[in-house]
Structure 1
């Protein structure tokens, strides 16, 4: 992806830093052996992965809507996580198609149109990262409650509360992404996003540590009278493991992007940091891959969801 049409506002910052410091970077290269090769990823690859991930996440949403057995708070949150991934997929497909049409000379647009499109796409991606982290946190909390408060779960995590949490997350994501795009040149906004990312990771890690260290002790205390609870707890632990996998994939795919943001704040003019910025396309493809991988994990870990997805695919044929 070129620097004339950027999928994220932070790419504007990186490209500005690259251009502003081109002279200093060149002089630095004369005195050192620093080699900085830019990774070029074809537009067609972005488009292909984007379309596949969009199709996958649409199928996940339709499967959860169709199957009443999946109408539970955890699957509501998973459905919203799929919608968050769709935001990345849609923004990627629209942007890549836009760039391909421009490169082929089919579409001629003004700078203002490009800038407005860029802002819309950036808002979608920023909203996606905030909502994805929030829904991962909501699913973690849901699994935590099912393990440690199994007998009270249905009174604690009601459908009404789940809907309220979903609405609150989407409203907060929309507001935060709007503020982020409006004040993207202010480092304080970037720091807030990085802080939110780290806070959510630490919070989820703490809950997981508690779940996996004490769940085994809880299971031993369950008597034969609570055999059904033992089965429910095993199911809850399976859900927790699934979420742990999702969280690990999220960290791998989004981690380089947040490192990119951190370097923009801490060392925007350092030659080594400028070299790291050149790999931004690789970070973008990782983000899109996250949207592509998540539905595969849902289907692999949930037999009920996998069965419904098969039914949808067979009906489509």
Structure 2
């Protein structure tokens, strides 16, 4: 759809999403194709895995007192970000494909804003983790002495900034009144916002990589100095192991999200390249990041892995305990009935005194 320059000052608030997709040249399928069914089915499966695995991480951090330290609170908040990402992609799955054409502009902004908020929360949380590790390790500590109140203030601040970033396009940084500036990948977003958002995240990635590089060289230097002191070996291994875990989480996050952010930036600068050809693949890659963190915890942290097993076995143990309690209750009820009958009618034909004695002996052992 070609629009002349006289329409650039006009706002199109009353138009539906298909109008902006036609303007940007992004195709929307009207009928369900086999490809659409495959994308939605796989997407829903991944979303449920993301939600379940990150609920497991959050539950483990709440359950195990050994994780009640600032670094694990921040990693728990990262799991909350990934959980929110899973919910955002779940919402996207029910508003994509042929469903997209039925969306209003407000519904489309909600769909994209949820994903933007989850990404921003994850990036800021990883930055907070990097800064916490930098301060802790340079002070030769395993865990930060930061107060719980301060940690929760940081978490609160992360989510406030993430929500504001997700609301920017809805609050006016869009192309509803400037159609030539509309993005190709996100047809209601202004190209300038895509450049700002992509550059901001890539710069944050670079800062985090620089922080972890400095920490790595510092830890390696200190390890050489501590080789002669066997008393510090266990502490050094614990610190280095935790560093490897958070570094792996950061590395996988950068690996999964950088291609998509670069693609957004290319679209933002109006690059004449086929950004739509790679869009869905990079979106799937970004979505996969939300369930790799629990996998990292399983392979890297033995205590976390043990807590996961306890949580997964909780329902089985609860079911067994319920069955045992029901059996005990029935047995007690039977004994009470026997005693009551004996008191009223005298001794029954079958003497149950031995059963009462056995029950009393069992109670004494318990």
Q: What is the TM-score with the length of structure 2 in the denominator?
A: 0.68
Greater C-alpha Rg: 2
Q: Which residue of 1 aligns with 2:159?
A: 170
Q: Deviations over 1:90-125 (max 9, x none)?
A: 12223324558959xxxxx9543xx43332222221
Task: Return the alpha-carbon distance in structure 2 between the equivalents of residues 256 and 15 of structure 1.
Answer: 26
Q: Deviations over 1:259-309 (max 9, x none)?
A: 2211112234x1xx2x23232111221121111211111222111111111
Shift of 1:190: 2.0
Cα distance change, pair 262–100 in 1 and its aligned pair in 2 (3 A): closer
Task: Return the alpha-carbon distance in structure 1 between the equivalents of residues 94 and 21 of structure 2.
Answer: 23
Q: Which residue of 1 aligns with 2:309?
A: 310
Task: Return the alpha-carbon distance in structure 2 between the equivalents of residues 110 and 18 of structure 1.
Answer: 17
Among candidates 84, 89, 104, match of residue 86 of structure 2? 89
Shift of 1:223: 8.3
Q: Which residue of 2 aligns with 1:221?
A: 225
Cα distance change, pair 263–101 in 1 and its aligned pair in 2 (3 A): closer
Q: Which residue of 2 aligns with 1:74?
A: 71
Among candidates 209, 216, 220, match of residue 212 of structure 1? 216
Greater length-normalized contact order (CA 8 Å, ≥ 6 residues apart): 1
Task: Return the alpha-carbon distance in structure 2 between the equivalents of residues 235 and 148 of structure 1.
Answer: 15
Q: Which residue of 2 aligns with 1:190?
A: 194
Q: Please provide the CA RMSD for this pair.
A: 2.9
Task: Return the alpha-carbon distance in structure 2 between the equivalents of residues 258 and 13 of structure 1.
Answer: 22
**Conservation of the 8 A alpha-carbon contact between 1:143 and 1:237:** no
Structure 2 stretches lacking a partner, 5+ long: 1-18, 28-34, 175-188, 317-366
**Conservation of the 8 A alpha-carbon contact between 1:56 and 1:295:** yes
Q: Which residue of 1 aligns with 2:61?
A: 64
More helix by share: 1
Shift of 1:219: 2.8
Task: Return the alpha-carbon distance in structure 2 between the equivalents of residues 161 and 120 of structure 1.
Answer: 31
Q: Which residue of 2 aligns with 1:24?
A: none
Q: Which residue of 2 aligns with 1:130?
A: 120
Task: Return the alpha-carbon distance in structure 2 between the equivalents of residues 68 and 236 of structure 1.
Answer: 18
- Count of paired positions: 276
Cα distance change, pair 48–16 in 1 and its aligned pair in 2 (3 A): farther
Q: Which residue of 2 aligns with 1:30?
A: none
Among candidates 235, 256, 266, match of residue 263 of structure 1? 266
Cα distance change, pair 154–19 in 1 and its aligned pair in 2 (3 A): closer
Q: Which residue of 1 aligns with 2:335?
A: none
* SS of residue matched to 1:278: helix
Shift of 1:61: 0.7
